[in-house]
Structure 1
Amino acid sequence: MRFGEVAGLQVGDLDFERHRISIKRQAVTVGNEVHIKEALKTEGSRRVVAFSSKLDDELKALCKGKKKTDFLFTKQGTKEPLKRPQGTKSWLGCAVGRIQAVDEDFPHVTSHDLRHTAVSLMVSVGAPISVISRQVRHKNISMTLDHYTELFDSDLDSLTAAMDSIL
């Protein structure tokens, strides 16, 4: 998911039974204001993505006391959706700064880095490329392969071991 899609999530977009999130809108920051677009960037790109049951407690806590039409992730003390994080004073920059204060080797992280990490984790658990491509809203699997081919180099070791086991 892209940041704008995450920021546009409403409580009613979560299905805890099936562990699915319906992506129906995105938040777009223009100047200092956040605007919600019901139609996503690409026509027909409304979709459903999976989330781990390990996130249930945290997501349910975010939903507590909110209506289905309330935004899931909001600016502290408001009902407004989050703005795209920019700089070290943003919500993401502050979170990274707190981690770096206790772990000096922790790298600078952007919201796009989080997306890249999600794809890396999906690759590492052996998710089919077609599923990964759909999760990150690539037009086709070749786009996913073009963007993330470096992730597959480490898979050569497991390929070698698999081939060894059948030969």
Structure 2
Amino acid sequence: MSLRMALLTLIAGAPRSGYDIGQEFDGVLKFVWHAKPTQVYPELKRLAGEDLIREQDTGSRGRKPYEITEKGVAELRAWLTGTSADHSQRNETALRSFALWTVSPAEAGDFLREELEYHRARLRGMRALKNGLDLSQAQDRAALLGVELGIRRLEAMVSWAEWAIENVAAWPEGSQ
């Protein structure tokens, strides 16, 4: 997935400013896609330059929301219907797990307990988000699909972390 499609998806749902988009990337989209403001703003300018989005009048706090154009909707639909999903992933937790043999079992357990708490907190947030969806709205019905995917992934991560903590607790001391 590209940042371009993530931005078009967000803006298609409702006009959003760069600030609003940043908040979404730090919130619900964090499990799907991460983007920094230094990436978002230049891409918004490119999308506007290609007439895929356009700025609306300045809103509250001087923010300039963007709305999607017909051309932008067409590009988003072409992406959805004309391409296959990219299933490659980066998962730092998994990568670190492969390296846990280099630290003591106690240090590995600390890392895993931190992961467990992180995923539990995110899971609570995603469940709250799900409860706040208005399923009479098309956008929220579609959002439910992504939110439920996030919930199920987080449940799997919680289950894995609990298992991993038990597993590492059985490692002999000095086993690195």
Q: Same fold (TM over 0.5)?
A: no
Identify, as 1 or 2, the structure richer in helix.
Answer: 2
Identify, as 1 or 2, the structure richer in strand.
Answer: 1
Question: Normalising by structure 2, what TM-score?
Answer: 0.36
Question: Normalising by structure 1, what TM-score?
Answer: 0.37
